[in-house]
Amino acid sequence: MSTTGVPAFAPEWLALREGADARARSTAPLALLADHGRVVADLGCGTGSLGRWLGPRLPRPQRWLLFDRDPALLEEAGRRVPAASVRTRRRDVAALCARDLEGVTLVVASALLDLLTGAEVAGLAEAVSASGCPALFSLSVVGRVEFSPGDPSDAAFAEAFDAHQRREGRLGPEAAGAAAAAFEGLGRQVRMFPSPWRLGPGDAALTRAWLRGWTGAAVEQDPSLPGAAYLERRLEACARGELGVTVHHTDLLVLPRPPARG
């Protein structure tokens, strides 16, 4: 599902957002992962941006197992994730099973959960929980966008965009909460950490691309919205360096539940 005017998993879009993703990701979960980063499975790895961010922040040496259904992205990620050993596996992560994660000590993913249905999130939670290892799911959208300065039409476009994200049964902004409930129902401990994009004048290229896709998705959902006029106003403010956008996300950390004290 695209929010940029280009395919959602196009290398151009993934490269454009990598810097904002790196700034947004919470570092708080890292201290709770201890030495679990020996064998890392990256689900829906794209070009490997999460591996490039997380690898240097985990103890070495590491082995990474990269999952994606796009062979071109897998090939690029396999070259660019900085680890002692990198293996790739072409697979739709929505159909992952526990066997795929044998030997893994940490499961990670970025911008994945909100693209899944409730049944897919439940299946993913079962597969990860069966592995017994921690998991870190970063940058799930939560359905909250803030603009500075505001515009009277912001709320209507945000509502339509969120509805667009829920098409075909996807969880969209409810994904993090649904995933937390699924993992907790399987006896896992879940913690959430805010990880907002904060886009300003130095992020003009990303802001423009995001605006076009965000507005376009909203208008596709609700054709009565004044998309052209709204987008023109927002792009003009961006060109003047006057537009700030905060796109809220959450990072979800899944841990084994500590034993009860007797």
Chain segment 147-185, per-residue pLDDT in tens: 999 999 999 999 999 999 999 999 999 999 999 999 999
**Dihedral class, residue 20 (left if φ above 0, else alpha if ψ from -120 to 50, else beta):** alpha
Note the pLDDT of residue 138: 97
Note the pLDDT of residue 258: 67
**Position 85 pLDDT exceeds 50:** yes
Can you say whether the dihedral through the CA atoms of 160, 162, 164, 168 is positive or negative? negative
Task: Provide mean pLDDT across the span 57-70.
Answer: 95
Pick the closest to residue 152 from 261, 83, 73, 229 (CA basis): 229
pTM to 2 decimals?
0.93
**Burial annotation 228-253 (CB, 10 A radius, 16+ → b, else e):** eebbeebbebbeeeebbbebbbbbbb
Note the pLDDT of residue 260: 53
d(CA 46, CA 93): 12
Note the pLDDT of residue 218: 97
d(CA 41, CA 20): 23
- The 8-class DSSP code of residue 141 comes to E
Pick the closest to residue 198 from 74, 73, 19, 45 (CA basis): 19
Task: Provide mean pLDDT across the span 245-250.
Answer: 98
Note the pLDDT of residue 11: 86
Q: What are the residues facing 87 on neighbouring strands?
A: 65
**Position 244 pLDDT exceeds 70:** yes
**Which ranges constitute the DSSP H helices of the chain?**
11-24, 49-54, 71-80, 118-131, 154-165, 175-185, 204-221, 227-239
d(CA 239, CA 226): 20
Collapsing DSSP to helix, strand or coil, 137 comes out as strand
Task: Provide mean pLDDT across the span 8-14.
Answer: 80
Task: Provide mean pLDDT across the span 2-21.
Answer: 73
pLDDT band at 7; cut points 50, 70, 90: very low
d(CA 75, CA 126): 28
**Position 262 pLDDT exceeds 60:** no
Q: For the chain, what percentages of helix, strand and coil (3-state, to nearest 5) are there?
A: 50, 25, 30
**Position 41 pLDDT exceeds 80:** yes
